[in-house]
Amino acid sequence: MTTTEPAANQFRPQLVFDDPAAERRHLLDALSRAFWHFSALGFDEGIAGIITVRDPEHADTFWTNPIDIPFGHMSPGKLIRSHGPTGDTLEGEGVVNLAAFAIHAEIHAARPDTQAVIHLHTDYGRAYSSLGRLLEPLTQDHTAFFEDHVLFDEFTGIVFDRSEAKRIAATLGPRKGVILQNHGLVSVAESLEAAVWWFTAFDTCCHISLLAEAAGTPTLLDEEVARLTARQIGTHQVGYASARRLLARALPSPRPAD
Ligand SMILES: [Zn+2]
C-alpha cells in the first residue's frame, strides 16, 4: 500500500514537561543552541536579530537576547526575560532591541499558539525581501511555505511604534512566516525548534530562488502538487524533528566562559 500522507508516528514526539521549571531549563538551553546555530550560519549582524520564546509559566513574558552578546557567546544565564506588553526587563541583565521586541510581542499576543518568533538579518532573506513578492514553489522544500507565508510591504523605518507591529502581526495571520519587504524574514512556530527550522529553511529557499531566477526562468511546481507536498513536509512535526538534529550538534563559538 502506498500513501502520500506522512505516518503519524514517523517522527520522534515533541518533549512534554510536567514541571514549568524543567521546561524553562530545556527552553533556555535550546535557545542558546539556536543562537549558536545561527551564528555558525553567519546570521549575527551588529545589533540586529532577535529570538523570543514564551515562558512556560508566565505566558505574557518572553526570553530573548541582549543586543551586546554575540550569538556564538550566548548561554542560558545571559538571556533576558521581558514583559510583552511593556518591554520591561523582568530577569537578566542587558539591553533588548526594543524595536524588534515590539514586533515579536505583538505577534505573540495575536498568536497565543506561538512559542517562538525569530527575526534575523540574513543576506538572502534581505535580498529576496527587496523584490516585494512571495516565494514561488520552485522545489520540494519551497512547498513548506506554499500558501503559508505572506508579504508585509509597508516599510516605514525602524519599528518602535506598536501600531505598525500590530499590522505586521495581523498580516502574518495564522501562517508560519512573513517577508518584511526591504527588511528581512520572520518565522513563527508553536515550538522553538520548529521556528528555528522554518527560519533556516525560509532563508535557504530565498537563496535558491535568487540563484534560480538569476540563472533563468524556473519551472514551478503545479499548485495541487505543491499543496499536497506542503501537507507532507510543512507540518510542525517535521519542523520540530528537523531542528532537533540541528540544535543537538550546535556549538558555541568561541566557548563562553560560563
Ligand atoms: Zn530587523
Instruction: For residue 163, count other CB atoms closer than 10 A to its CB.
Output: 9
- Asked if the structure places residue 11 within a domain, the reply is no
User: Which contiguous run of DSSP H or E holds residue 24?
Assistant: helix 20-40
Distance 228 CA to ligand 1 centre (A): 32
- Asked if the structure places residue 168 within a domain, the reply is yes
- Asked if the structure places residue 164 within a domain, the reply is yes
Distance 120 CA to ligand 1 centre (A): 6
Distance 121 CA to ligand 1 centre (A): 6
Label residue 1 by pLDDT band (50, 70, 90).
Answer: very low
Strand partners, 52: 117
Mean pLDDT of 117-140: 98
pLDDT 10s digits, 171-182: 999 999 999 999
Average pLDDT, the chain: 93
- Asked if the structure places residue 187 within a domain, the reply is yes
Distance 180 CA to ligand 1 centre (A): 9
Domain membership of residue 73 as a residue range:
20-246
Distance 88 CA to ligand 1 centre (A): 20
At residue 93, does pLDDT exceed 50? Answer: yes
Distance 21 CA to ligand 1 centre (A): 31
Contact 149, 202 (CB under 8 A): yes
Distance 77 CA to ligand 1 centre (A): 24
- Asked if the structure places residue 13 within a domain, the reply is no
Distance 148 CA to ligand 1 centre (A): 21
Residue 155: predicted pLDDT: 85
- Asked if the structure places residue 99 within a domain, the reply is yes
Residue 160: predicted pLDDT: 72
Residue 158: predicted pLDDT: 76
Residue 15: predicted pLDDT: 87
Q: What is the DSSP string of 165-231?
A: HHHHHHHHTT-SEEEETTTEEEEEESSHHHHHHHHHHHHHHHHHHHHHHHHS-PPPPPHHHHHHHHH
- Asked if the structure places residue 43 within a domain, the reply is yes
Q: How many domains does the chain have?
A: 1
CATH code: domain of residue 86: 3.40.225.10
- Asked if the structure places residue 252 within a domain, the reply is no
At residue 10, does pLDDT exceed 90? Answer: no
